[in-house]
Amino acid sequence: QLARDLSDTQRKVADQSATLDNRLRPLEPQKVSLDGKEFQADPEEKRQFDAAMGLIRRGDFNEAVSAFTTFLTRFPASGYSDSVRFWLGNAQYGKRDYKGAIATFKAFVAANPDHPRAAESLLAIANCQIELKDTKSARKTLDDLQKAYPGSEAARAAKERAAGLR
C-alpha cells in the first residue's frame, strides 16, 4: 500500500510539474531569428512586433507607424529594433511621409551599413526623393547604392531606376 501511495504521489507531482511547465513556457523569452540575426525576445515583444507587421501587411500605414514607434519606446534595446526601424521607414513611405521616411532610412543605414536590408533602405530613400521631385539627390543616392552594394538586388533595381531618371 505504501509503495502504491508513493507511486501515485510521484505521478501527481510529475503531472503538476508538466502542467506548470506548459503554463510558464509562453511567458519565457523565445529564440528569434530575423534578418540574419538571432536573439531572445520576450513574448510581449514578439507579439507587438508581429502585430505591427500585420498592420504593414494590411496597408494600415498610419497605425503601423504608431505601433513601430511605440515598440521602439517600450523596447529600445530589443533584438527587433533594427528591423523595426526599417519597417517604420516603410510605413512612413506608405503614408507618404517621404521626409520622415528618408530620415528613418538614413539613420538606419548609418547605424547598420552591413544589415541585410541596408541596400533596400537606400533604394527606398531614392524612391522618396523621386516622390519629392528631388531627382538630383535621387540620382546620387542610386549611384551611392550601386557603389556600396554592387551585387545586391537593390543595386540592380537602382541601375534601372537611374536609367529612367535621365
For domain 27-165, the CATH class is mainly alpha
Residue 30 has pLDDT above 60, yes or no: yes
pLDDT per position as a tens digit, 48-74: 999 999 999 999 999 999 999 999 999
Indicate the pTM of the whole model.
0.82
Q: What is the DSSP letter of 96?
A: T
SS3 category, 77? coil
Give percent of the chain above pLDDT 90: 76
Q: All 3 cell numbers of residue 89?
A: 521607414
Residue 21 has pLDDT above 70, yes or no: no
For residues 147-156, average pLDDT: 96
